[in-house]
C-alpha cells in the first residue's frame, strides 16, 4: 500500500551502511517508523529531506515494513542548529513526541504544536525558556492532562494575587482555602495568566504571550514539574538541555 502524508523527522538513525531508520510524527497517522534506503549517501535524493527536524510531504510504501518512496521538502528549520541550547531544546521536543504520541491516530494537534515550536525557536522570536514552558503545558493538555485553571477548586475565586498549583490533580487553590502547602507550587497572577493562555488559547494565538524575569523562571519550573509528573518517562534530552541552558 502507498500513502502520502505530511510529517516531521523526530528521530533518525543509520541502518546498515547507507540506509536511515526514521521516526516521524505524521499529520494523520501518529508516529511512524520508516526506512529511507540510501539516505545516508550525500548524493541520494532522500539525504537532506530525511534529516532530523525536516518537515516534508512523504510518500510511503507499506509492506512488511514501511519505507520512504519519495519526499517533497517543506522546511528544514536551519536555525535550530545554530545554537546548542536551541538544538538541545528541539531534541527534547522530539523525544517528548516520540514517547507520547501513539501510532495510527489523528495527530494534527501534536504536529502543529511541534512545527510552531520549531518555528519560534529557530527564528528566536520568544525566549527559549518561554517556548519550553509553552510546549510542556500544551502537550500535556493535548495528551489528556489539561489542568483546570479557571478558579480556586474550593471557593471559586479567580483573581487572587497568589494561587497554589497542584501538579498532581491539575487544579489551583487560593491561599484562603489552602490546607497543605507541602505538595503545591505557589504561582503569582502573572504566572497564572500565562498558564491560562497556554492551556486555553487557540493555536494561532498560543505564542503571542511571554514573560520575563522571575515570573518566567517560575512558569518554567511549574510547567516542567507538571509535565514530568504525568509522563512516566526519563527524558535524557531534557537533562542535557538543563546542563547547558543559560
**pTM for the complete prediction?**
0.94
Helices (H), the chain: 84-100, 108-122, 128-140, 189-200, 213-230, 236-244
pLDDT score, position 58: 97
Counting Cβ atoms within 10 Å, is residue 147 exposed (0-12), middle (13-18) or buried (19+)? Answer: buried
Domains and CATH numbers, the chain: 2-76 (2.40.50.140), 83-244 (1.20.1440.120)
Q: Tell me the C-alpha distance between 135 and 100, whole Å.
A: 13
Contact (CB, 8 A) for 39 and 19:
yes
Contact (CB, 8 A) for 106 and 191:
no
Q: Tell me the C-alpha distance between 202 and 69, whole Å.
A: 35
Give, for all 246 residues of the chain, the pLDDT tens digit: 899 999 999 999 998 889 999 999 999 999 999 999 999 999 999 999 999 999 999 999 998 889 999 999 999 998 999 899 999 999 999 999 999 999 999 999 999 999 999 999 999 999 999 999 999 999 999 999 999 999 999 999 888 889 999 999 999 999 888 877 657 999 999 999 999 999 999 999 999 999 999 999 999 999 999 999 999 888 999 999 999 887
Amino acid at each position: 500500500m502507498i500513502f502520502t502524508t505530511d510529517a516531521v523527522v523526530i528521530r533518525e538513525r543509520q541502518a546498515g551502511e547507507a540506509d536511515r531508520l526514521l521516526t516521524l510524527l505524521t499529520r494523520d497517522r501518529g508516529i511512524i517508523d520508516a526506512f529511507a534506503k540510501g539516505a545516508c549517501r550525500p548524493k541520494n535524493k532522500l539525504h537532506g529531506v530525511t534529516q532530523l527536524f525536516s518537515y516534508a510531504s512523504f510518500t510511503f510504501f507499506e509492506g512488511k515494513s514501511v519505507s520512504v518512496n519519495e519526499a517533497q521538502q517543506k522546511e528544514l528549520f536551519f536555525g535550530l542548529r545554530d545554537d546548542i541550547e536551541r538544538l538541545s531544546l528541539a531534541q527534547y521536543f522530539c523525544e517528548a513526541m516520540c514517547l507520547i504520541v501513539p501510532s495510527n491516530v489523528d495527530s494534527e494537534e501534536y504536529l502543529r504544536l511541534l512545527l510552531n515550536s520549531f518555528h519560534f525557536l529557530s527564528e528566536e522570536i520568544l525566549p527559549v525558556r518561554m517556548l519550553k514552558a509553552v510546549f510542556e503545558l500544551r502537550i500535556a493538555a493535548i495528551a489528556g492532562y489539561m489542568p483546570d485553571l479557571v478558579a480556586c477548586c474550593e471557593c471559586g475565586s479567580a483573581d487572587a494575587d497568589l494561587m497554589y498549583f497542584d501538579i498532581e490533580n491539575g487544579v489551583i487553590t487560593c491561599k484562603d482555602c489552602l490546607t497543605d502547602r507541602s505538595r503545591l507550587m505557589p504561582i503569582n497572577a502573572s504566572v497564572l495568566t500565562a498558564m491560562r493562555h497556554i492551556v486555553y488559547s487557540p493555536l494561532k494565538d498560543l505564542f503571542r504571550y511571554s514573560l520575563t524575569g522571575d515570573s518566567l523562571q517560575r512558569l518554567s519550573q511549574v510547567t516542567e514539574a507538571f509535565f514530568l509528573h504525568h509522563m512516566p518517562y526519563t527524558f535524557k534530552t531534557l537533562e542535557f538541555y538543563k546542563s547547558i541552558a543559560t
